[in-house]
Amino acid sequence: MLLCCARFQTGSEVGDAVRPPSRRGTDWTWLVRQTRWHGVLLPPPRFLPSTPLDGIPPAVLTEFAERARRIAHHNLFLTGQLVDLLGRFAAAGIAAVPVKGPTLAALAYGDLARRESFDLDILVRRQDVAAAADLLRSLDYRADLVLSPGAEAARLASQYHRRLARNPGPVVELHWRFAPCYFPFALRPEQARLTQLRLGSATVHTLAPEHLLLVLAVHGAKHLWERLIWICDVAALIRNVGLNWPDVISESGRLGVARVVRLSLVLARDLLAAPLPDAVDDWVEGDPGLAELAALARQRLFATERR
């Protein structure tokens, strides 16, 4: 049932996605807890024609409906905050690109309410991090950790982001690279390919789908694919966006993350029925060590009880 929810969330056809096993033995308390952890939603009742609602406890339907409303409202709030911040960065001469968050929901899912977002990830050049942080501090954002100049320089050299927050307001993560320096991903912010995206009443620049797919794969691998939503992100991008697959393959090799990308595609295909072109399937299956890695990822994804 959890995978059925995830498949629907990525845009799978209702008849394919919502075909759960018998619900007689469904542990609904477990399902609610797992969907919270994994970041997936129960499809709205109108999308459950083959799932009699009398088999789902009213409290569960209420929980999912209220959660969906909260996500929609919060994502609209985040979108407004993001558009405002991007305008302020532009006025200050700071090149800033939103990554994930509302832009991921809009680009990959086509709906701000279909993907839960918690904070704003904004990509800036390394030389602009200090100016961007100063601008945020002028808006009453505060860093989660105050460092000496020497420690701050060390963080810039070895890490990839810093967090600032205000109350009330969102958490903002300023990124100057896509992963820690020890992670083999050679894409620099100034090299990232961009695309225009309509976000609310504004048009913003965000990562082009082919580079976004690589970033999502690296993000999932960095966190050992612990949450299903990270696989949903890959599957939604595959299903809903016309990807230039030769470009994905060549860029993943050039940037040193071919196996990482292959693994993300296998998980999206096998768990969430993401459709891959035959040539991409052949490319994925060309890695003889991938099956074992995918099995380990699936085991980790479902083996640990989540609170």
Q: How confident is the model at residue 22 (pLDDT cuts 50, 70, 90)?
A: low
pLDDT score recorded for residue 109? 92
What confidence score (pLDDT) does residue 14 get?
47
- Considering only CA atoms, give the Rg of the chain: 20
- What residues contact residue 150 under an 8 Å CB cut-off, 6+ apart? none
pLDDT of residue 21: 52
Q: Which two tokens stand for residue 17?
A: 């996605």
More confidently predicted of 46 and 142: 142
Q: What does the pLDDT read at residue 24? A: 56
pLDDT band at 147 (very low <50, low <70, confident <90, very high): confident
Helix (H/G/I), strand (E/B), else coil: 170: coil
pLDDT at 301 over 70: yes
Phi, psi of 194 (to 5 degrees): -120, 160
**Which residue ranges form the domains of the chain, and what is each CATH number?**
2-303 (3.30.460.40)
Q: Which structure tokens are listed for 25?
A: 């033995």
Q: Report pTM.
A: 0.90
Q: Is the pLDDT of residue 54 over 60?
A: no
Q: Are strands 171-175 and 119-124 parallel, antiparallel or unpaired?
A: parallel
Lowest mean pLDDT across 25-39, 113-127, 187-201: 25-39
Stronger pLDDT, 230 or 12, i.e. the higher one: 230
143/163 Cα distance (integer angstroms)? 6
CB 41 within 8 A of CB 2: no
> Has residue 49 got a pLDDT over 50?
no
Provide the H-helix boundaries in 122-208. Answer: 129-138, 149-158
- Which tens digit of pLDDT belongs to each residue from 226-242? 999 999 999 999 999 99
pLDDT, position 99: 94
Does the pLDDT value for residue 171 go beyond 80? yes
Q: Mean pLDDT throughout 39-68?
A: 71
Q: Is pLDDT above 60 for 46?
A: no
Q: Please give the mean pLDDT across all residues of the chain.
A: 88
More confident residue, 290 or 156: 290
How many Å apart are CA 294 and CA 88, to the nearest integer? 43
| 65-95 residue pLDDT tens | 888 899 999 999 999 999 999 999 999 999 9
Q: Tell me, what's the pLDDT at 197?
A: 95
**Separation of alpha carbons 226 and 235, rounded Å:** 16
C-alpha to C-alpha distance for 115 and 100, rounded to whole angstroms: 10
Handedness of CA 224, 250, 265, 116 (dihedral sign): positive
pLDDT at 7: 87
Q: How many helices (DSSP H) and strands (DSSP E) are in the chain?
A: 13, 7
Residue 149: its pLDDT value, please? 81
